[in-house]
Amino acid sequence: MTTYDSSDQSAHKSTYESTSRTAKAGGLTLHYNEAGPQDAPAVIMLHGGGPGASGWSNFGRNLPVFAEHFRTLLIDQPCYGASDKPEPDKDFFSFAADAVAALMDQLGLEQAHFIGNSLGGGTATRLALDHPDKVAKLLLMGPGGISVNLFSPDPTEGIKKLFAFHAANGSGEPTREQMRDFLLTMAYDPAIVTDAFVEERYAQAIDPQARLGTARMGASFAKWPQDTMLWREAYRITHPTLITWGREDRTNPLDGALVALKTIPDARLHVFPHCGHWAQTERFDEFNRLAIDFFSH
């Protein structure tokens, strides 16, 4: 496995190819992108669960900024990206958390700060609950599992669009327009949903292995629904926790933050105005500054 050399100027470009790594951990082959000094504190970013999602698709632009301060890893969770697509033997959050913990052991990482977006927020939360010694600080972005919609009806607009895209798998291939429709619910500013972005996510989403991974991930939620209700255990999270939310999030609405904020003992909340489900993209500079400051002090 290639290691990152902080003296290599080409690595600072942080292209997908220059930062791409794989490792065998816990019986799975996991893919991740890595940049930053090996001896710096580690930050692990866990992506959301939409069609075509991966560590790079969620956080690729943020990687070089964080790599100036931290050893930064964008992990493709099991069933996503270039990682294996196994059939989970427990709920997805627990299965993915165990896989990330095994990867940390393989890489010699005793502890890391975590950023979890949506589905990745659920995985990061489960890591803090089941592997607390491996988590330093926790940053949750519109997280799944730990949010409870107090005022917004379920399923939300974004979840309905997600279901519509995946439902097409049973009756034929989903369309690019369905992908665009879904991505537009993720964003406050529709200008970020470019044709190139739609095409990139669509190509990844319709790959047969990606479809298999999505189906297996979804089946685990259906099989162990009680175990995904992380809000019931949030009081056990003792780590410093920063909850972030886009005020205009149409997938996991802002009221979902309130139970977690009240329940986690050391939680604080930052709300990004004029922002949907992807604060790391729509509020790029503000998000980076906020996260780096939180992890640095």
Tokens of 151: 């005022």
Q: Catalytic: 277?
A: yes
CA–CA gap between residue 289 and residue 287 (Å, rounded): 6
Burial (CB < 10 A; 0-12, 13-18, 19+), residue 26, is: middle
Q: In what order do the strands lie in the sheet with 241-246?
A: 20-25, 28-35, 71-75, 42-46, 112-117, 135-141, 241-246, 267-272
Cα 278 off chain centre by: 10
Q: Please give the C-alpha separations between residue 222 and each of 65, 84, 110, 226, in angstroms, as whole numbers.
A: 37, 20, 33, 9
CA–CA gap between residue 42 and residue 248 (Å, rounded): 30
* Candidates 113, 131, 277, 297; catalytic one: 277
Q: Which residues of 120-142 are buried (b: 16+ CB within 10 A; e: fewer)?
A: bbbbbbbbbbebeebbbbbbbbb
| Residues counted in the chain | 297
Question: Which of 297, 260, 284 lies closest to 62 in space, CA to CA?
Answer: 284
Q: Which residues are catalytic?
A: 277
